[in-house]
Structure 1
Amino acid sequence: MTSPGFNTRAIHAGQEPDPATGAVILPVHLTTTYKQDGVGGLRGGYEYSRSGNPTRDALHTALAALEEGSTALAFASGLAAEDTLLRTVCRPGDHVVLGGDAYGGTFRLLSRVLSEWGLEYTPVHLDDPDQVRAAMRPTTRVIWCETPSNPLLNITDIETTAAVAHEGGALLVVDNTFASPYLQRPLTLGADVVVHSTTKYLGGHSDVVGGALVARDPGLGEQLAYNHNAMGAVASPFDSWLVLRSLKTLGVRMDRHSANAARVVAFLVDHPAVASVLYPGLPSHPGHEIAAKQMSGFGGMVSFRLRDGEDAALRVCERTHLFTLAESLGGVESLIEHPGRMTHASAAGSPLEVPNDLVRLSVGIEDVDDLLADLDQAMTL
């Protein structure tokens, strides 16, 4: 098979049956160290599990296959992956162009942590290439992009933004958490690195915290792999196994997430309490045409704004039953949150502050009629 399909790769890449027993599921290698056959006589190259572990290495192989990259690395969290990436490709005094509605944790990392290290950043609207070009400096090393973005579901043209980045000698980094590699593969569109919170759709069951980087260029992959070991925020063997298990059903889960979200969007668009619905699958969405071009589906994340403001948004969040009031996203269960007071509270008062009447849904894979009934009762104020 010269070019197996996505679901085949998700089930088989890096996951050959165990040669000793024939077990079709990869073992969890819960070991910190490995017996050497004489000094320096490593079996399979393994000496210490921070540096290498067979379960985590299998996850690396699978993630690289799904994102069509040269090198994948699994981390203890998405933010650990981001920190390692930025401190690998940037130096004190360098500059990052940041999407104007980036995840609050990414903004906190840049504004409160890496700024103390000397890294500078400029938030811009990435849907306007002229704004991006204007924000570039001779010291710009990275354009940091989320598409769809969290939580406003804005869309960035990856090919166009990659061209702007490369014209200025910078890398384009795409956080692909919302789309997953099932719906979008940024490296094939010119991006240099893909970032994931594997906690979300890749893990898919709200039972693991993790992150990942996938690089297109092998040389950059080698630099990242060196710091992956040297800085040490690696994914544990069991967490790696949980994500590897979940990748096998990513395609079928994303199909259901997307189908359910489309029904939820149709309900919200017609609801009198809703001022606007933010979802790239809507033809009225300003990024709809670009999303349709670079994605194979529009995903399970939906945001909407309430006509009666913040108090109404808070009431809806507090009245749902099947939609659990909680942070995070991408699990099989549906979640609801108020970004301004929850996931994006760290952006309050900054250019990345989100509207206070905004509600974000992570639409799960439950029976969609039950989800619609839950939203209907919650919004009957």
Structure 2
Amino acid sequence: MSDRYGDSTRAVKAVNSQPVPGEPVGPGPVMASAFHLSDDEGSEPNTYGRAGNPTWCQLEAALAELEGATTALSFGSGMAAITAALRVTAKAGSVLVVPADGYYQVRRFAAESLAPLGVTVREANADQIYEAAGSADVVLAETPTNPALDVVDLHRLAEICRERGARLLVDNTTPTPLGQQPLSLGADLVVASATKALAGHSDLLAGYVAGSHPELMALLERERLLSGAILGSFEAWLVLRSLGSLGLRFERQCQNAMALAGAFRHHPKVRSVRYPGLPGDPSYPAAVGQMRRFGGLVSIELPDAAAVHALVRRSELLVAATSFGGIHTSVDRRARWGDPVPDGFARISAGIEDTDDLVSDILAALDG
């Protein structure tokens, strides 16, 4: 797709990039477990619902277009996508580096499911990952990290991985393909949870893997077939429908996140604030070098857990919820889930409320 298009145009064209006369502008889901077979055996595009579905194909074509990949594969959740990618790339005897400061369930999967199979698992945070990659066979990077929002320099990391001959996988959930293009920065695979901003309405689970290495994508497709970690056709249709408004939603989320970060920066009750798009943030230099937008997440530290609960209770717009990327602005106290952060650390996922309303409401709740 031409670089001259803006984000909303890219998203709309990705959803319906090849109009067919006489076909619906917005086709519905194909909900089927079995398809008619032909006498010409093997010629059918779809045979059984675990192997393929026309709605998957539409969604996967759109995701590949947005990520700048030749192929994308949908999965039943973000974890289904990332674990499939790790099973395919990290084999017995290999060294796998996973983020020490990223999504905690990925570390658990690596330790509990891959290490017993003979994979050496090493954890590294955003500033350690470059050294760790120098002796790795597979590197998984999450950038910006969740929840601290540190940014990994993907140009630098990809160069290290190429010299080593290691595979580089990048979790692109936080910035979305409208904020960052890991494949263009040297990644071998992109993994992401479409549950978040792409689906955007806090009502489904979905994930995907995108890439341009045919052999890797074929192995992943086989892994999905055998494991059964598929996305339902109705959920695939909902994600596809949501992609059309992604540009609008993500633009407002990023705008709101930046406004909140600026408002928090000098507030007396906020001990610290992290947002990669905020000048002066430790990650700002790396972020401006590789990100087009800085995402909808802001992390702050309040005095204690009670202060986080009070913030939500006093606000008229905030909701207390885990996950992120939805239309509502949400607050998640991450120590609750075991992240190594202070009790008053909160991840705020900016929604699509009017910016002035949101900032005024949260500041009033802080001052209350």
TM-score w.r.t. length of structure 2:
0.93
Letter in 2 for 1:240: A
Letter in 1 for 2:118: G
Say which of 316, 319, 322 aligns to 2:317: 322
Q: Deviations over 1:281-307 (max 9, x none)?
A: 11111110111121112121000112x
Cα distance in 2 between the residues matched to 1:14 and 1:262: 28
Say which of 148, 151, 157 aligns to 1:161: 157
Q: Deviations over 1:189-248 (max 9, x none)?
A: 101111110000110111211001001322211211221212210111111111111111
**Partner of 2:346 in structure 1?**
359
Is 1:339 equivalent to 2:334 in the alignment? yes
**Which 5+ residue runs of structure 1 have no aligned equivalent?**
348-352
The 8 Å contact of residues 98 and 139 in structure 2, kept in 1 or not, is answered as yes
Cα distance in 2 between the residues matched to 1:105 and 1:319: 31
Cα distance in 1 between the residues matched to 2:221 and 2:140: 20
Give the deviation of 1:280 after TM superposition: 0.6
**Partner of 1:246 in structure 2?**
242
1:116 match: secondary structure? helix
- Count of residue pairs the alignment pairs up: 366
Give the deviation of 1:39 after TM superposition: 6.2
Is 1:114 equivalent to 2:101 in the alignment? no
**Partner of 1:300 in structure 2?**
296
After superposition, the Cα gap between the structure-2 partners of 1:103 and 1:14, relative to the gap in structure 1 and judged at 3 Å, is: same
Give the deviation of 1:318 after TM superposition: 4.4
Percent identical among aligned pairs is 37
**Partner of 1:189 in structure 2?**
185
Letter in 1 for 2:251: D
Cα distance in 2 between the residues matched to 1:280 and 1:249: 24
CA RMSD in angstroms comes to 2.0
**Partner of 1:350 in structure 2?**
none
Q: Where do 1:1-381 residues align within 5 Å?
A: 5=5, 6-13=7-14, 15=16, 16-17=18-19, 21-38=22-39, 40=41, 42-43=43-44, 45-128=45-128, 132-134=130-132, 136-137=134-135, 140-306=136-302, 308-342=303-337, 345=338, 347=339, 353-380=340-367
**Which 5+ residue runs of structure 2 have no aligned equivalent?**
none
The 8 Å contact of residues 32 and 49 in structure 2, kept in 1 or not, is answered as yes
Mean Cα deviation higher: 366-375 or 159-168: 366-375
Cα distance in 1 between the residues matched to 2:245 and 2:75: 21
Cα distance in 2 between the residues matched to 1:134 and 1:57: 37
Letter in 1 for 2:353: E
TM-score w.r.t. length of structure 1:
0.90
Cα distance in 1 between the residues matched to 2:149 and 2:220: 29
The 8 Å contact of residues 262 and 278 in structure 2, kept in 1 or not, is answered as no
Letter in 2 for 1:70: T
